[in-house]
Structure 1
Amino acid sequence: MKLEELSRDTLIKLTEMYARNWQTLDGLWFGNVEREYGLEAAVKLDLKNWERQSVIEAQRIKKALGLHEGGLSSIIRGLSFMSWQLTSPSFTIDEESPNRIVFYYPRCAVQEGRKKQGKQVFPCKTMKTTLLSNLARVIEPRASVRCLACPPDPHPDEFWCKWLLTMDRA
């Protein structure tokens, strides 16, 4: 059987399953490194992976969706289709204008899972800043990303992390 022969619903289910499989592999990899070498080493190696993986994924999304310097909304569109975004709780846009978008994640499967397992919060600020900056650079090079709050930063109960996208260069 070929993908072209599958129904739309089946394709959506498969896409979600593959995204979940990818997240499972990422989580197992991180957990194994953390158990063997500690959280600091796991975070360091995870960052190395995301530095490269986020560029590759952003390039693929840009090509698949035909995103070409379409302003901040094109970054948000690309973000919506990143593999880890397909099954995780999505972000909420707080403010939106052509030159500024503020968005946040009210839930985080990774942090909530770690909390449930009695583990310390994953300090994801550097990794997430790298991922979002790479996504922005690939899709809309005139944009920049700034972290407003992300673990290990303190944050209110309403969100785990909050981000600002701006158009800095015309």
Structure 2
Amino acid sequence: MKHNEALDDLSKEELIRLIGLYSKNWLALDGVWFQSIEQKLGMDEAMLHDARAWERFTVIEARRIKKFLGLPEYAGLGGLKKALSLRFYANINEDEAILRGNTLLYRTLSCRVQNARARKNMEFHPCKPVGEIEYAGFARTIDPRVTCTCVSCYPQITDDTCACSWLFTLHE
């Protein structure tokens, strides 16, 4: 991979800020293309393409993070927790991951996407169907023994203390 020499002169703090900036840029691109389809063809069409994109992207992201961390094929919930902490989202959303026995509860406490849509007086993004594809695919790539269940996600909010909540279960 090409090395960007401009990074050599940046401090650790500047590099961390740059990662945050890159994460915001990535999310902006994701939102811009989604809203373009949403405005032109409607929410259903935008969601169809969003699901297709996330089905592929989540596996790519998980594989790269898994390789970066040097995780084994069966990384378990500990490996999944580490991998979730390095996703782009982890740099821009407030979240928490609670490991208990053979389950990992992952909660997004504050979601940049929904916060932005609220500021713009837009309908909330109906994340649940795409989230089910995204989180299950990510977990399965980290460890094929892990399944994912939605606990709470718009439009089916069952926990108003967070933006969304996902339960990962390790089946040994």
TM-score strictly above 0.5: yes
> Deviations along 1:16-38, whole A, 9 cap, x unmatched?
11111111111111111111111
Partner of 1:51: 55
Deviation at 1:152, TM superposition (A): 1.2
Work out the number of aligned pairs and report it: 167
Q: Superposition pairs for residues 1-170 of structure 1, below 5 Å? A: 1-68=5-72, 69-89=74-94, 91-93=95-97, 95-169=98-172
Listed as ranges, the gaps of 5+ residues in structure 1 are none
Deviation at 1:3, TM superposition (A): 2.9
- The one-letter code of the counterpart of 1:35 is Q
> Deviations along 1:109-153, whole A, 9 cap, x unmatched?
111221222221211111111111111111111111111121110
What TM-score results when the alignment is normalised by the length of structure 2?
0.89
Secondary structure class of the residue paired with 1:106: strand
- The one-letter code of the counterpart of 2:27 is Q
The alignment yields a C-alpha RMSD, in angstroms, of 1.6
Secondary structure class of the residue paired with 2:110: coil
Secondary structure class of the residue paired with 1:145: strand
Tell me if structure 2 keeps the 8 A contact 1:92–1:103: yes
- The one-letter code of the counterpart of 2:13 is D
Alpha-carbon distance in structure 2 between the residues aligned to 1:7 and 1:103: 31
- The one-letter code of the counterpart of 1:79 is L
Listed as ranges, the gaps of 5+ residues in structure 2 are none
Q: 1:155 to 1:112 in 2, by over 3 A?
A: farther
When structure 1 is superposed on structure 2, of 52-61 and 127-136 the one drifting more is: 127-136
- The one-letter code of the counterpart of 1:123 is P
Alpha-carbon distance in structure 2 between the residues aligned to 1:70 and 1:119: 39
Stretches (4+) displaced over 6 A: none
What TM-score results when the alignment is normalised by the length of structure 1?
0.90
Tell me if structure 2 keeps the 8 A contact 1:102–1:162: yes
Tell me the percent identity: 34
Deviation at 1:158, TM superposition (A): 0.9
- The one-letter code of the counterpart of 1:72 is L
